[in-house]
Structure 1
């Protein structure tokens, strides 16, 4: 479903009492010289009890014999930036759910594709913090292979919630950096997770790592 057509109507201050998903907090701490300082930040209210992470980001690589690998991306309107963002599939973990389970579930719900976790230690990243100077939100990046020859991946059907308007598309993995530059020039917001991945690929190519 297309992400086009959404727009911000208004913005207003939000108190902690009225917020459902986040809280604003002031942290008092001491720096290395013993000076007392304050820090303002945001915290999620959605992390399940006992979980180390809020959610997962999914690096889904689509593969078909004889064709170069592609990465599965999404277009989704994000009100905080008033733009359609280019992102990897992602979502919050449910109670009692592992990062791998959350990634496979979210991939199927948001894109219709059925994937498998990449083997070895590369499958699940270390815990990553999206913007540690602003909020405590964290996640695991989960690396998933999507075999396009599997019958269940021939005609993928999404299972979106009524407030989700997500458009999926693919980009050849080797062209990711160039394509994101084009999308940025067209006015899309580039999510830092996919932007950093693209820069990593470009660095590896340029320095022949």
Structure 2
């Protein structure tokens, strides 16, 4: 909803600022919702050398979505995402939303190492107070429940899922933009990070 703020700048001048506030954040949560970095991989089940070699040849892919967004009147390229329910952790929210929007069953990656859930991120602080955690999830495509994933979409949701090799994400964003799609900032920032890491040989 619209909101107005009055504040004093560093020079002592009183100023007004118009913004929007999301009203759905649960009292028990530090964030409104989550974005999900879902990495699709195939793991061998018996540890055989053949399956290990197959796993090494299978490049990780990022799960993405196409979804029309009325505020920008464009089809957006996004990661799966959703709002946190009351009493729900960001990790639980991510796994629930992933299953509902894509049909995939995943696991939070590296949670014990502090990697699984990002710091709190503000989507557009110059305009609104909306914030989120990015949650890193791995999806094992060899699991039986991931062989034929069936989304559980609401009547108002029209979402198309697809995947892109992580190494090609930046180039794919460029291609999709030329086709008329709009790139969500979470997807674009991830693509920029991968491209920077490649160009400056950070890994």
With normalisation by structure 2, the TM-score equals: 0.91
Structure 2 unaligned runs (5+)? 43-54
The alpha carbon displacement at 1:99 in A equals: 0.2
Work out whether 1:163 is the aligned partner of 2:141: no
CA distance in 1, matches of 2:28, 2:59: 40
CA distance in 1, matches of 2:37, 2:157: 20
- 1:117 matched residue in structure 2: 108
The alpha carbon displacement at 1:50 in A equals: 2.2
The alpha carbon displacement at 1:33 in A equals: 1.3
CA deviation vs aligned residue, 1:53-112 (integer Å, no higher than 9, x gap): 000000000001231000000000000000100000000000000000000000000000
- 2:171 matched residue in structure 1: 178
Question: RMSD in angstroms over aligned alpha carbons?
Answer: 0.6
- 1:71 matched residue in structure 2: 62
CA distance in 2, matches of 1:25, 1:59: 31
CA distance in 2, matches of 1:50, 1:112: 27
- 2:144 matched residue in structure 1: 151
* Greater CA drift, 167-176 or 29-38: 29-38
Work out whether 1:139 is the aligned partner of 2:117: no
Higher share of residues assigned helix: 2
Work out whether 1:41 is the aligned partner of 2:34: no
Q: Which runs of 4+ in 1 moved over 4 A?
A: none
- 1:5 matched residue in structure 2: none
Work out whether 1:97 is the aligned partner of 2:75: no
Work out whether 1:187 is the aligned partner of 2:180: yes
- 1:204 matched residue in structure 2: 197
Structure 1 unaligned runs (5+)? 1-22
Aligned positions, number: 187
CA distance in 2, matches of 1:122, 1:195: 20
